[in-house]
Amino acid sequence: MSQAQEVLYRYFGYKTFRNNQEDIINEILNKKDVAIIMPTGGGKSLCYQIPAIILEGITIVISPLISLMKDQVDALNSLGIGAAYVNSSLSNVEIQEVYYKLKNNEIKLLYVAPERLESQEFIAEIGSLEVAQVAIDEAHCISQWGHDFRSSYKYISNFITLLNNRPIVTAFTATATKEVREDIIKLLRLKDPKIFISGFDRSNLSIIIEKGVNKKRYLLDYVNKNKDVSGIIYAATRKEVDAVCEMLQENHINATRYHAGLSDEERKINQEDFVYDKENVMVATNAFGMGIDKPNIRYVIHYNMPKNIEGYYQEIGRAGRDGEKSECILLFSPGDVQTQRYIVETGTVNPDRKLNELSKLQTMTDLVYSNDCYRRYILNYFGEELNEDCNNCSNCNSEGELVDKTIDAQKVLSCIYKMQRGYGVGVVVDTLRGSQNKKLLECGLDKLSTYGIMKEYSKDGLKEFINTLISHGVIDYGGEFPVLKLNNRSVAVLKGEEKILFKEIKEVKASFEENGLFDMLKALRREIAATEKIPPYLVFGDNSLKEMSTKYPLIKEDFLDISGVGALKYQKYGKQFLELINTYVEENNIEVKRSFKKEVKKLQEKKKSYVETVDMLRELKSIKKVAQGRELALTTIFSHIEQYISEGNNIDFAVDFDNIFDSEEESRILDVIDEIGYNKLKPIKEKLPNSISYDAIKGVIVKKLIS
């Protein structure tokens, strides 16, 4: 096992790397610059964190958001890895404390915002330290052609030149076109970097685009049917976020909100409530989410269409980071395009960048209207080929059949040709539907032979059809003042050389059903997280809990085989989770198969354990005191006593059952036991009032066995 694999297992609980993580880490450990394009949830952070732990000196992680820093630092510190951040949320005293720890080699990873690199004080403090690596997260922010350009990123390369020795420079991003990748390498001055482009495909994400639905009704239906899982709902404007959040809350759904119009304190509280599973639903603008490591987000819903594919793919990538199946739903209405166009035109000053943003908006619109596999469209946009259908998007799974729309397409193309000059979609629709619009009549468009030849279409229906033709490249459309234009494919369709075949929808259902043990494990995780004041996923991820709930690990060796556990987490949490799982298995009469060696070890450990329990009981007499002294659940203590008696031993001393059941409960339990027997815990429980616990039932059974 390599040093990197040892660190992976010891600190993070995984036995193998994903994708090309190991190759990236080895390249960094060989002191080479790298540029990594890896989709959200692909495990980018491990690629710089593991080298940071191994390399001599500190790693500086440059990140654009305070939320990312806090989450990552909390996670690393909970694993015993020295990490800290310096940003505007800290007081001067707190910042000086971080500098003190840096000088005393107590910190391996330091997270900073790019703006901090301009600070002379920061440069002076870092200047005396050995910096092994500078890792730049969200590296696409350095390019003006990226979807989230931030001018502060331009300071990074100058900062690196001020360090005593040039460190390894590593750049990470989830979404970057070829043009943006070239900018990252050039503007960060990477030295002969190896470029790693991990597959953009997130196969566990189901991509669903709904057009023409009642958004409010759909949203309420979906969230109500999936109210026990975490989800994000993105809206385009602050006003829309407030309205959606209020609607959910009025319908008794645990929802909170996040946008730039809220105070820093309210945003912080709302974000923590969501990350800590206090609120199940986050309604937000695109200001929320970058750097949020919450792995158990089961759905992302876009209430409005985003303005570009990069942002859309990054946002849906926040679902299912644990690898579990998750849904990404876009609720589209034509007005979304105008909203995003307005945001681009009023918020972008640079004319070249504005044109670039409008082009990206059109590409996003084309995705929505595509009649083919949505996943293939997205992957092709990022330069990755997918030749077959994904069978995990709403287009692939649509039950409609292919319909020949060639004649309707020819009518549209003929109308555009006869107009002899460029017009927008609205004018072409009005002409084909025979509108009496004054502007249309003034232009003489009512005189065309194509005037009124598609009256059977509704206005919205014909707009959608034309937009679908645009999406499939049959018509060109774009620019600051977009108009429809014919192209080579248009000519081929008009000549009958190419056919147009389009697919001419499904009940929202609860998608994430778990067994009872999973819910109990989540409750235990929540209790531990509340005690330690950390997000629940830092205890164990949902995928780890799901594996526990299906494999039923009953001893240490089995528990360590669960993905995401590892030695450190077993040491911190293993005992509590094993007790819960053992109790659940026993109460539900579940037969668990395991290897002979592990079965023998389990029996040996159990024997040693129950003897210790009885010895302590002989001394203390009280069941409750023994449970507290051994730090075991009452159910486990009862099981130890049963095991001791089953092997022919007698309990020849008085045992105190106080505060476990009272005389009335004892009487009712004995009546049910006389009726259906001792060995059917669940049926016994079901025959008794809810106020009588399993502990009380087991206690009465054990008392009767002793007597």
The distance in angstroms from the start CA to the end CA of the chain is 55
pTM of the model: 0.62
- Torsion angle of the four alpha carbons 545, 547, 552, 555, in this order, in degrees rounded to the nearest 10: -80
Strands 255-258 and 83-86 come out as unpaired
Query: From CA 595, how far away is CA 606, in angstroms rounded?
Result: 16
The CA-atom distances, in angstroms, between 117 and each of 91, 93, 500 are 18, 19, 55
**Which two structure tokens, joined as six digits, stand for 79?**
């694993």
Contact between 280 and 253 under an 8 Å Cβ cutoff? The reply is: yes
Show the tokens assigned to 672.
Answer: 């049910």
How many residues in total does the chain contain? 707
How far apart (Å, rounded) are the C-alpha atoms in residues 525 and 536? 6
- Dist CA 381 CA 375 (whole Å): 10
| Calpha distance 337→406 (Å, rounded) | 26
Whole-number pLDDT of residue 596: 42
Q: What are phi and psi of 194, to 5 degrees?
A: -85, 130
**φ and ψ at 9, to 5 degrees?**
-75, -45
Q: Which amino acid is at 469?
A: L
pLDDT value at residue 506 = 44
What per-residue confidence (pLDDT) applies to 206? 95
How many Å apart are CA 311 and CA 317, to the nearest integer?
Answer: 10
Q: Residue 481: CB partners within 8 Å, gap ≥ 6?
A: none
DSSP string, 343-394: HHHHH--SHHHHHHHHHHHHHHHHHHH-SS-HHHHHHHHTT----S--S-BT
Question: CB neighbours of 88 closer than 8 A, spacing ≥ 6?
Answer: 66, 113
Spatial neighbors of 534 by CB under 8 A, at least 6 apart, are 74, 78
Nearest to 38 by CA among 55, 56, 22, 20: 20
Q: Can you give the pLDDT at residue 83? A: 96
Asked if 493 contacts 207 with a C-beta cutoff of 8 angstroms, the reply is: no
- Residue 523 is predicted with a pLDDT of 86
Q: What is the pLDDT of residue 657?
A: 87
Cα gap 379→387, rounded to integer Å? 10
3-state SS, residue 535: coil
Task: Identify the pLDDT of residue 25.
Answer: 96
Q: How is 576-619 classified by DSSP, letter by letter? A: HHHHHHHHHHHHTT------HHHHHHHHHHHHHHHHHHHHHHHH
Tell me: the pLDDT tens digits for 424-477? 999 999 999 999 888 899 899 999 999 999 999 888 889 889 989 998 889 998
3-class SS string, 316-336: HCCCCCCCCCEEEEEEECCHH
User: Which domains, and CATH codes, for the chain?
Assistant: 3-197 (3.40.50.300), 205-381 (3.40.50.300), 402-503 (1.10.10.10), 516-706 (1.10.150.80)
CB environment 406-433: b (16+ within 10 A), e (fewer): eebbbebbbbbeebeebbebebbbbbbb
Residues with Cβ within 8 Å of 288's Cβ and at least 6 positions away in sequence, in order, are 232, 234, 258, 259, 271, 282
* CB atoms inside a 10 Å sphere around CB 479: 13
Q: What is the pLDDT of residue 508?
A: 47
Q: What is the pLDDT of residue 107?
A: 95
Low-confidence residues of the chain: pLDDT under 70: 40-41, 67, 145-147, 290-291, 505-515, 593-608
- HSE-CB for 332 with a 13 A CA cutoff: 22
CB 343 within 8 A of CB 353: no
The Cα–Cα gap between 656 and 208 comes to 60
Residue whose C-alpha is closest to residue 578's, from 641, 539, 521, 529: 521
Task: Report in angstroms the alpha-carbon separations of 577 from 10, 247, 267, 543.
Answer: 19, 38, 33, 15
Nearest to 108 by CA among 132, 78, 71, 82: 82
Q: How far is CA 363 from the centre of its chain?
A: 25
